Structure 1
Amino acid sequence: MVFFSFDEHVFSHPWERVVEAALRKYPNPESPNVTGTDVFERKVDEKGRLCSQRIISSLWSNSYLNLIEKVAGLDMTKTFHAIEYSVLDPKERSFELSSRNYNFMDYITVDEKLVYQPHATDPNMTVLKQQWHITCKNLSFVSFFENAMGTTMMAASVKGRQGIEYVINQVREEVERIASAPIEEMQTLATNTMKEINSFQQSIGGMGRRWEENLHEELNEFIAKSGSNLIDQPQN
């Protein structure tokens, strides 16, 4: 048996604003389980689409996972890593993401897909379509564990949408603060922002080196196992 579920959510914001927030989603206080995101490939393809691949690292803890740990003997306290493929198409106004975990794949495979598109009739709204495809194997009580993981993922999706709203509010506050700031304050803000960007770039570089040192073999194994099996994986 396989767990499959689909959900749809409408944001009361234009597509561009929601996508900007989705790109800046982590970190946010609504998703404290996400401990890091490492972009390891990003390019603009021949169609003008921004194609990205990144590692998302997270920690999970709830009653369902604790039960899986006890029954299956898996160490669910370990950091979960997932590979996310995304395609941002500004011309078609679509932002599509597909992800799959790459540890615990011998027992649990979680495929998740998200698509952000403008509302069909209201340009001030954005529709998020989200689906999950979960398969468990080499475990007892497979159906129970698949539903447990599905319930966990769907609960996390609610927090993820709240995180989008949080980032949208943060961006709005930034714009308002800049618009009302004196020239001297704006210059200071610009200087501090550049320092933050430089620090962020150095941090990303360091994370990239650590990824190459510690995760390269696992990533190759993940890609070999997954191939083109990610649910409707965007084509770069």
Structure 2
Amino acid sequence: MVKFFQHTFAYDHPWENVSYAFWLRYPNPFASHVLCADVIDRSINDDGVLTTTRLVLKQGKLPKWFPQQFVKNSEAYVIEESLVDPKTMRMVTRTRNLNHVRIMQVEETQTITPHPVNPDMTTVKTEARIISKFGWGMAQRIEMFGESNFSKNTAKARQGMKHILQMIREKRLRERMGFMQPQTA
């Protein structure tokens, strides 16, 4: 059995800010489980589409009921592949964990586009598949745990993005205010 998760959320910020904030979202106070994120490949094609591959190291949590002897280290590497098309104003990211995949594989896709009605807002659609091949009658329980955990982490990720977006807004406001103040010799 596979668990599916889907959620759509709108940020009160334009697409340019949300797609920029995506790259700045680590570290933030709502993502203490993210230990590091490194760009391993980045290129721009002839159409101006930015392709990036990042490796993210996250600290996971095992449920108390899970047999601890099957996981020596709860850290997980996640590969994140993204495409940013500034012409169509569309950003698509795909992530999946690289280790512990037999226990639980999480595959997530996010699509970031301008809000269909309000151009000052941005829509983020998140879809995920949570799959366990663990066996011993535990796969469904693991998938349910993964779905619940993913839902909670999505809420934290939104808070983290809001935090970064607010920082961007404040920085731009300070920059504008600095330019507006009279210069003294």
TM-score, normalising length from structure 2? Answer: 0.89
Structure richer in strand, relative to its length? 2
How many residues align? The count is 178
Identify the residue that residue 33 of structure 2 maps to in structure 1. Answer: 33
CA distance in 2, matches of 1:44, 1:11: 26
Q: Once superposed, what is the RMSD of the aligned Cα atoms?
A: 1.6
Check conservation: 1:65, 1:76, Cα contact below 8 A: no
Identify the residue that residue 18 of structure 1 maps to in structure 2. Answer: 18
Deviation of residue 181 (structure 1)?
4.2
TM-score, normalising length from structure 1? Answer: 0.71
1:87-142, CA deviations, whole angstroms, 9 ceiling, x for partnerless residues?
Answer: 00100100110011011123221101111111111101111100110110133321
Deviation of residue 76 (structure 1)?
6.5
Identify the residue that residue 120 of structure 2 maps to in structure 1. Answer: 124
Query: 2:101 aligned to 101, 105, 117, which one?
Result: 105
What pairs with 1:161-180 in structure 2 (closer than 5 Å)?
A: 161-180=158-177
Unaligned runs of 5+ in 1: 183-236
Identify the residue that residue 190 of structure 1 maps to in structure 2. Answer: none
State the percentage of identical aligned residues: 26
Identify the residue that residue 208 of structure 1 maps to in structure 2. Answer: none
Deviation of residue 19 (structure 1)?
1.1
- Verify: 1:151 aligned to 2:148, yes or no: yes
1:29-88, CA deviations, whole angstroms, 9 ceiling, x for partnerless residues?
Answer: 011111100100000012210000011111122xx6332244xx3327431111010000
Identify the residue that residue 71 of structure 2 maps to in structure 1. Answer: 75
Counterpart amino acid of residue 17 in structure 1: N
CA distance in 2, matches of 1:76, 1:48: 43
Identify the residue that residue 52 of structure 1 maps to in structure 2. Answer: 52
CA separation of 1:30/1:47 partners in 2, compared to 1, >3 Å: closer, same or farther? Answer: same
Structure richer in helix, relative to its length? 1
CA distance in 2, matches of 1:149, 1:44: 35
